[in-house]
Amino acid sequence: MTQYAAKETEYVVLVRIVASVGGAGSNIKDDAAAYAKYKKYVADMLKPRVDELGWVAAADEPITKPMMRDMALRNYCWAVGDGTNAVVVEAVKKFKAFAADPKGQKSGIRDVFHTVLRTAILYDDADDSNWHAMWELLQNSEWEADQRAYIASLCKSKNELLLRRMIDDSFDENAKSGSWRYIYYLMYYGVDREELAWELLQTNWDKYAESYNDTSFTMGYLVEIPEVFDTPAKKDEVAAFFASKADSIGTGKKTVNETLARIQYNIDWKASNAQDVKDWFNALP
């Protein structure tokens, strides 16, 4: 599947390849060498599309090209891991221009909005200036789609104190979007934040339950959060926690069993496949 990926020009095909490779790569984080090879593999795979598509849409390009552009640029910027890379530098530059003039600059980054936001946080400076600028953009936003994009990107911060404060602030009555979205996005968009998200979910469970235990979809999302774990010890810990909260899970009770089943799947996958995946990536030049 991946042998011809660097030459693939169809969005539907390439996005599935990236997702498949990413699914395998996300399970080998405990092997630093293999994980670094995985990220390089993704960057090398997407570089031809990044060079081909650039940042600006052509007047007559098909409808899938903007989706391909954002997907390729976004994943490339993450995988390359180099703040001095020209593509990364351009993404951060575009964010700063947008933050200074949101109304005037939004149309110019419409097709690469997620790339620009997420890259700006991944490669933030020591003062977290991009994070603070984006937090201000979130507070001033009235569009739910933009709010979701900001929250997902803010969760990528390397500053744990900022992330903890963000979760605390999400319970404010004037917070943008629901408090559940912040913790849910922290798990799925944060960079190695599984343990932090799980800790904060447990710590704040009673607040979430008070707000959402009658809302089927939302409680399900919250109960899904620990499904990424892949050890028997974590499975037992998750099971024990939800058992202790049985009276407040409400409409999320069905999802508990699904979450535990997913953790067991991860355990089984890791036992059967993880070493083969690590060996494959480690064998790459």
Q: Find the helix or strand (DSSP H, E) in which 203 lies.
A: helix 194-203
- Looking at residue 217, what is its pLDDT? 82
CA distance linking residue 165 with residue 161, whole number of Å: 6
**Do 283 and 33 meet the contact criterion of CB atoms below 8 Å apart?**
no
Q: Looking at this protein, which amino acid is placed at residue 115? A: T
Helix H segments across 54-193?
A: 64-80, 86-100, 102-105, 113-122, 129-139, 144-154, 160-169, 179-189
- Looking at residue 3, what is its pLDDT? 59
Count Cα atoms within 13 angstroms, Cβ side, for 102.
14
- Looking at residue 169, what is its pLDDT? 97
Is a pLDDT exceeding 80 seen at residue 149? yes
pLDDT in tens, 169-186: 999 999 998 999 999 999
- Looking at residue 1, what is its pLDDT? 52
Helix H segments across 10-62?
A: 11-25, 32-53
- Looking at residue 255, what is its pLDDT? 92
pLDDT in tens, 21-74: 998 898 999 999 999 999 999 999 999 999 999 999 888 888 899 999 999 999
- Looking at residue 139, what is its pLDDT? 96
pTM score, two decimals? Answer: 0.93
**Do 195 and 157 meet the contact criterion of CB atoms below 8 Å apart?**
no
